[in-house]
Amino acid sequence: MKNPLISYNNESIMMFFNYQLYQFCPKSEVSMFFKNLETNRLYLQNISPAHRYFIYVLFTNDDVLRFHYSEDRYTDLNGADVEIAEWNQPEPRNQHNWVLVRKADDIAIGTCGFHNWDRDSAFCEISYDMYPDFWGNGYMTEALQTIILFARDEMKVHCIEAGIDQDNEKSIRLIERLGFVYNKLVIDEKQDKKICHDKIFHLRF
Ligand SMILES: CC(C)(COP(=O)(O)OP(=O)(O)OC[C@H]1O[C@@H](n2cnc3c(N)ncnc32)[C@H](O)[C@@H]1OP(=O)(O)O)[C@@H](O)C(=O)NCCC(=O)NCCS
């Protein structure tokens, strides 16, 4: 494997974390229902403790967190560990997260997944985040197309919901490109007293 500290100038720390990841991350892991997936350019790996450095770097980046709630920002690696443990609760569970890994160079670039899966109403919510260096290449569109098929065919959901800050234009463009339809605007006060204006979109099968 090439030395990531040499290959990348502006994001050497993140690439070092990725380097650490691939020293220790098993490419295949046992999972009952949720499984590793694949697209043309990406591996979608089930999130695991081996991803802790990448998850930490992702959720301490100002551009990634711009439209997140302040409580989503980690203060240390423990924050990543806690969140990864939540995503990895024993199955059956109502949430799952994948890490997007670029096939070309085995670099982790983002995450995507589902939460609040309600089997009775065949409903779940979608979430996704990508490190800014990788925006603008269609990677997230590609990843979401694949997990949406998984939701439809394996989870048997009839409706996927996306809640997006009304000013998050990239995310709104992404979700509309995938066929989601605007449903309503929700105005909410969060823990930090910030007033959020979230647009709710639905994709129905
Ligand atoms: C939301 C987010 C994932 C969108 O990233 P993105 O790079 O715009 O999404 P994609 O990877 O699907 O790339 C699509 C863009 O790449 C372009 N593109 C370039 N090459 C492409 C290709 N081969 N295939 C498809 N699209 C391509 C598209 O035209 C599109 O650009 P546009 O929106 O300006 O038209 C990203 O902005 C992000 O992580 N933001 C921070 C976290 C966040 O807001 N999460 C969502 C909370 S609701």
Question: What tokens does 126 get?
Answer: 């979608």
Residue 119 has pLDDT above 60, yes or no: yes
User: What's the mean pLDDT in 42-54?
Assistant: 97
Q: Higher pLDDT residue, 176 or 17?
A: 176
Residue 117 has pLDDT above 70, yes or no: yes
**Residue 21 pLDDT:** 55
Question: What tokens does 139 get?
Answer: 């990677």
Q: Which pLDDT band holds residue 32 (cuts at 50, 70, 90)?
A: confident
Q: Which atom of ligand 1 is nearest to the CA of 134?
A: 7
Residue 20 has pLDDT above 80, yes or no: no
Mean pLDDT of the chain: 88
* 72 CA from centroid of ligand 1 (Å): 21
**Residue 5 pLDDT:** 34
The mean-pLDDT minimum among 10-24, 41-55, 107-121, 132-146 falls in 10-24
**For residue 39, with 0-12 CB atoms within 10 Å meaning exposed, 13-18 middle and 19 or more buried, which class applies?**
middle
**Beta carbons of 115 and 124 less than 8 angstroms apart:** yes
Angle in degrees, 0-180, between the axes of helices 139-153 and 169-177, rounded to the nearest 10: 50
172 lines ligand 1 (CB under 6 A): no
* 157 CA from centroid of ligand 1 (Å): 24
User: What's the mean pLDDT in 133-146?
Assistant: 98
Residue 129 has pLDDT above 50, yes or no: yes
**Residue 69 pLDDT:** 81
Q: Which pLDDT band holds residue 36 (cuts at 50, 70, 90)?
A: very high
Mutate to test the pocket of ligand 1, among 39, 130, 200 (most ligand atoms within 8 A of CB): 130
Q: Higher pLDDT residue, 29 or 107?
A: 107
Residue 199 β-bridge partners: 164, 185
Mutate to test the pocket of ligand 1, among 170, 182, 199 (most ligand atoms within 8 A of CB): 170
150 lines ligand 1 (CB under 6 A): no
* 130 CA from centroid of ligand 1 (Å): 9
Q: Which atom of ligand 1 is nearest to the CA of 165?
A: 48
58 lines ligand 1 (CB under 6 A): no
Q: Which pLDDT band holds residue 191 (cuts at 50, 70, 90)?
A: low
Question: What tokens does 101 get?
Answer: 């890994």
49 prior amide bond cis, ω within 30? no
* 140 CA from centroid of ligand 1 (Å): 6
Residue 14 has pLDDT above 80, yes or no: no
Domains and CATH numbers, the chain: 4-204 (3.40.630.30)
Question: What tokens does 188 get?
Answer: 């909410």
Residue 125 has pLDDT above 50, yes or no: yes
